[in-house]
Amino acid sequence: MDVISILRQQVAQDHEALRARGLMIEILEEAVGRLRGAGFAPRLDLADSAALVVLRLDTSAWALRQVGLPARVLDREPLPRVDLAALRADPPAPAVKQSLIPRATAPSALSWTPARDARLLSLRGAGRTAKEIAADLGLKSDKAVKDRIYVLKKRGVAVPEAVGRKAAVPAAVKAAAEPKPSVWTPERDAELLALRAEGLQAGEIATRLGICSQHAVQVRISRLRKDGRVEVPRKEPAPSVWTPERDAEMAALLREGLTLAAAAGRMGLTEGALVDRRRRLRALGRDVPPLPKGVTQEKANEARRVWTPELEARLAELYRSGKSDQDIAADLGNGLSVGAVSVRVGIMRKEGRLAAISRRAIRAAEASPKADKPAPAKPAAPVVEQKSEPLAAAPAPQAIVAKPAVKAPDQPPPAPAAAKTAGGITLGVPRTVRIERPHAVMLDGLTEDQKVTAITAHVAALPASKDFDAELDLELCEAVFAGKGGLQLFATDMGIDLRTVQARFETIVAPFCRPGVKALPIDTAKLLLPALRARVAQARGAA
């Protein structure tokens, strides 16, 4: 069996459709003849060599492209070029195949000739589907047929519609068809403008008209205004407080020597309104009366601020006397909150206008004369079980570890507090505290009243501590909820180690935080503070 016989069997197995036409056989016979002319002997293993495999792939791709083409086209199409000198190696080196691979690529696209386009259109007109046309033309899939139909339509070729689709309406028929009547007639436009003049909104106009949406009314109003066919009335802006008469009245009062506050009270306006109006008039280049003697713009703006020098002086006085932020806010009044007081104290201390003191030590010194009588023993309050690292017991599965606090600068780390145990419960606060939660989130699924009851019970059951009492627990939570840096400010203010403060805060809020989440929900914070205040009031009443 020679090489030609082997190739005939392979072609019969791989390309059944081509065997019937004999095209591939002729190409391979010519290729093998060229190999023999180049000095190759017809050996049986020649079909398995790398060179002949690449040659076969190259000629197969070329032959597939020629299916259905006329003979005259085949005559003009050259055979794939193969480097015959590279095939002289016996056996062919691995580099031979690599050198022939770039030349063994298939053609980039299918050749669409006029004859093939005509065949496609005739089959399309006969009602054939894209798959049937592809099979008739010898194509692997119907995508090439669909792509060719799209290209022909773009070129203006009349392509018959597919079976089952509606016939395309010619452009002339579309142009002759009567346009769809518009919803907006002259009468309806007049009705729209009348409703608009009455001050109705677009949604109300749409409801009154009953045939269009709010968006349609808005678009129609915009189109009428843009075309200029109808003058659409615009809404009049709200009358300004400042009229030429009011400007003249303000100027007259200021020339009389009245302060901004007095002039604002006389005109029934706010002091800030007069300040803004003066700034506006000066920007417009208008004649603005000067401020009264001794009153500058900075002082005028200072009157609009909450914290005046007098208020800050009173704040410093109360702070040095050892008052808590809650007592200071109640004494100052002026609508100040506990959080505003805590933030202002921190600002004044940062600016050096307020020295850091231990308000806890001052209150303890004031209460020392009253310490002649031994304080009545308070019943031990139920505590929330805590476990710390020094204990041998293993932590619960849902226990969380408090984040190690930042060490205060220039201060050696204090020794751990002595742990007083009662029934296996650690009352001291070591460096690392593990808090066992009774539930992942204590308040899940509870009503508002049930949440208040649960929080009140938790606050009443807070574990006792040598560093914290009811008042300090309240001040700690108020400082933290007031803003960022509350823990550090509270620790410095009270002279307590920051790690101890952080551990105490986590003991208070741990049952209300979700696992892995440090933040406390806002609604829980709003319920926690009243419970702590009630605990302080109860403690003061008991004393």
What's the CA gap between 268 and 542, in Å, rounded? Answer: 51
User: What band does 140 get if pLDDT is binned at 50, 70 and 90?
Assistant: confident
Residue of higher predicted confidence among 250 and 182: 250
Per-residue pLDDT tens digits for 91-118: 544 544 444 444 434 444 467 888 888 8
Average pLDDT over residues 378-403: 42
What pLDDT, on the 0 to 100 scale, is given for residue 451? 83
Closest CA to 312 of 332, 293, 288, 289: 332
Question: What's the number of CA atoms in the CB half-sphere (13 Å) around residue 392?
Answer: 1
Beta-bridge partners for 434: 387, 401
What pLDDT, on the 0 to 100 scale, is given for residue 30? 67
Whether the Cβ atoms of residue 3 and residue 32 lie closer than 8 Å to each other: yes
Whether the Cβ atoms of residue 316 and residue 348 lie closer than 8 Å to each other: yes
Say what the alpha-carbon torsion angle 447, 450, 452, 454 is, to the nearest 10 degrees. Answer: -130
The identity of residue 443, as a single letter, is: L
169-201 core/surface letters (b: 16 or more CB in 10 A; e: else): eeeeeeeeeeeeeeebeeeebeebbebbeeebe
What pLDDT, on the 0 to 100 scale, is given for residue 517? 55
Average pLDDT over residues 69-95: 46
The answer to whether residue 249 scores a pLDDT higher than 50 is: yes
What pLDDT, on the 0 to 100 scale, is given for residue 366? 64
What pLDDT, on the 0 to 100 scale, is given for residue 257? 79
Per-residue pLDDT tens digits for 438-487: 433 566 667 888 888 888 888 888 887 777 888 888 888 888 877 667 78
- Is the dihedral angle over the CA atoms 63, 69, 74, 80 positive or is it negative? negative
What pLDDT, on the 0 to 100 scale, is given for residue 520? 65
The answer to whether residue 245 scores a pLDDT higher than 70 is: yes
Q: What percent of the chain has pLDDT over 70?
A: 52
What pLDDT, on the 0 to 100 scale, is given for residue 426? 32
User: What band does 80 get if pLDDT is binned at 50, 70 and 90?
Assistant: very low
Helix (H, G, I), strand (E, B) or coil at 390: coil
Closest CA to 458 of 512, 420, 505: 512
What pLDDT, on the 0 to 100 scale, is given for residue 72? 39
State pTM to two decimals.
Answer: 0.26
On average, the pLDDT of the chain sits at 68
The identity of residue 312, as a single letter, is: E
User: What band does 73 get if pLDDT is binned at 50, 70 and 90?
Assistant: very low
Per-residue pLDDT tens digits for 120-133: 898 988 888 888 99
- Sheet containing 386-388: give its strands across: 386-388, 433-435, 400-401
Q: What percent of the chain has pLDDT over 90?
A: 0
What pLDDT, on the 0 to 100 scale, is given for residue 52? 54
The answer to whether residue 341 scores a pLDDT higher than 60 is: yes
Q: Which of 19-33, 281-295, 400-414 has the lowest mean pLDDT?
A: 400-414
Residue of higher predicted confidence among 193 and 493: 193
Residues 6+ apart with CB under 8 A from 68: 116, 137, 138
User: What band does 32 get if pLDDT is binned at 50, 70 and 90?
Assistant: low
Q: Among 299-313, 379-393, 426-440, 527-541, which range has the highest average pLDDT?
A: 527-541
Per-residue pLDDT tens digits for 409-442: 444 444 333 333 333 333 333 333 333 444 335 6
The answer to whether residue 87 scores a pLDDT higher than 60 is: no
What pLDDT, on the 0 to 100 scale, is given for residue 511? 77
Residues 6+ apart with CB under 8 A from 510: 400, 435, 437
Q: How many helices (H) and strands (E) does the chain have?
A: 26, 5
What pLDDT, on the 0 to 100 scale, is given for residue 36? 64
Question: What angle in degrees, to the nearest 10, is found between the helix axes of 498-509 and 522-542?
Answer: 100
Whether the Cβ atoms of residue 359 and residue 493 lie closer than 8 Å to each other: yes
Domain coordinates of the chain in residue numbers? 3-104, 114-163, 186-227, 244-302, 309-371, 433-543
- Is the dihedral angle over the CA atoms 34, 36, 42, 43 positive or is it negative? negative
Q: Among 12-16, 54-58, 221-225, which range has the highest average pLDDT?
A: 221-225
Q: Which of 67-81, 153-167, 273-287, 470-484 has the lowest mean pLDDT?
A: 67-81
Among the residues of 66-185, which ranges form H helices?
71-76, 94-100, 114-125, 130-137, 143-154, 171-176
What's the CA gap between 237 and 219, in Å, rounded? Answer: 22
Residues 6+ apart with CB under 8 A from 111: 65, 69
Average pLDDT over residues 23-29: 61
The identity of residue 523, as a single letter, is: D
Average pLDDT over residues 236-262: 81
The answer to whether residue 49 scores a pLDDT higher than 70 is: no
Q: Which of 322-331, 401-410, 532-541 has the lowest mean pLDDT?
A: 401-410
Q: Which of 202-206, 340-344, 439-443, 460-464 has the lowest mean pLDDT?
A: 439-443
Residue of higher predicted confidence among 28 and 533: 533
Bond before 91 cis per omega within 30 degrees: yes
The identity of residue 36, as a single letter, is: R
